[in-house]
Amino acid sequence: MLLKDKTVIVTGGNSGIGEAIVLAAAAEGANIVIDYVAHPEETSSLIARVEEAGGKAVGLEADISSLAGLQALVQKAVEAFGSLDVLVNNAGIETRTSVLETSEEQYQKVLDINLKSAFFGTQLAAKQFILQGRGGVILNISSVHEDWPMPGNTAYCVSKGGMRMLTRTAGVELGEHGIRVLNLCPGAVETPINASTMADAGKLKSLNAAIPLGRMAKPEEIARMAVVLASNTSAYVTSTSVFVDGGIMQGSVGL
């Protein structure tokens, strides 16, 4: 089992890609701390699914846009399972607004949830890893839009671009402590954040046509890569981004 007896925090862990990562990590033997800010009943249901499969999980309602919320998650991991081995910075939001439309409030909310949480989550997890003295992994769930513009969703792209440089720089800084920092960058995924696209047959057809593999990813396909990157299978991989996008970034309309 790739994550046997490892303790993993997953922010935004009760839906979408986060939920899939929780289930995939638990199946590989991990102990899970599930962060959530809404729908506690879904978290309870997810914990039950993990336990039915023989795994261990606890939930914590925490605002990861604040240092207090992030610290509470680290403390929960240590209290529940004795240590922390992997932090998955998965929680994220978007506004689908352009640079001309985005309000200060919208910008701040996106940057706080997507980037500030990853920055200080990295800081707090790294301090815990150093205290334990055996390294650890920080896995940021970024996006193809850390590198690939998405007009009409500017604040989101800015947050993911910042996450890219966070990973590259923090990975260099923390390498001496045996801490790996990585970005996992999905393309289009069948999750609630893409519900409006999936509900529009025309938009969905256009999107699928732009993806060389011809379809959106399923959350579990992203989750399986997350497990590999968090495990010792990827022990020599750090300070970089891994794209899982069905080839969408390389697509071309041709001539």
pLDDT single digits (tens) 67-97: 999 999 999 999 999 999 999 999 999 999 9
State mean pLDDT over 27-55. 95
Residue with tokens 């920055």: 119
What local confidence, expressed as pLDDT, does residue 54 receive?
83
Average pLDDT, the chain: 96
Class of domain 7-244: alpha beta
Percent of the chain residues past pLDDT 90, beyond the cut: 94
Between CA 36 and CA 58 the distance in angstroms is 11
| Straight-line distance from the first to the last Cα atom of the chain, in angstroms, rounded to the nearest whole number | 48
What local confidence, expressed as pLDDT, does residue 126 receive?
99
Instruction: Identify whether the C-beta of residue 187 lies closer than 8 Å to the C-beta of residue 246.
Output: yes
Copy the structure tokens of residue 156. 């989101």
Catalytic residue positions?
156
Q: Which residue type, as a one-letter code, is found at position 228? A: V
State mean pLDDT over 13-40. 96
Q: Are strands 86-89 and 7-10 parallel, antiparallel or unpaired?
A: parallel
- What is the model's pTM? 0.96
Percent of the chain residues past pLDDT 70, beyond the cut: 98
Q: Which long-range contacts (CB under 8 A, 24 or more apart) does 92-95 make?
A: 92/12, 92/141, 92/143, 92/156, 92/159, 92/193, 93/156, 93/193, 94/153, 94/155, 94/156, 94/193, 95/153, 95/155, 95/156
Copy the structure tokens of residue 87. 């932090």
Between CA 197 and CA 203 the distance in angstroms is 6
- pLDDT confidence band for 254 (50 / 70 / 90): low
Residue 133 pLDDT more than 80? yes
Copy the structure tokens of residue 34. 């599930």
Which DSSP state fits 238? -
What local confidence, expressed as pLDDT, does residue 255 receive?
54
What local confidence, expressed as pLDDT, does residue 231 receive?
98
- pLDDT confidence band for 4 (50 / 70 / 90): very high
State mean pLDDT over 166-187. 98
Between CA 154 and CA 70 the distance in angstroms is 26
State mean pLDDT over 241-253. 90
What local confidence, expressed as pLDDT, does residue 253 receive?
57
Q: Which residue type, as a one-letter code, is found at position 244? A: V
Instruction: Identify whether the C-beta of residue 241 lies closer than 8 Å to the C-beta of residue 146.
Output: yes
Domain ranges across the chain: 7-244
What local confidence, expressed as pLDDT, does residue 251 receive?
82
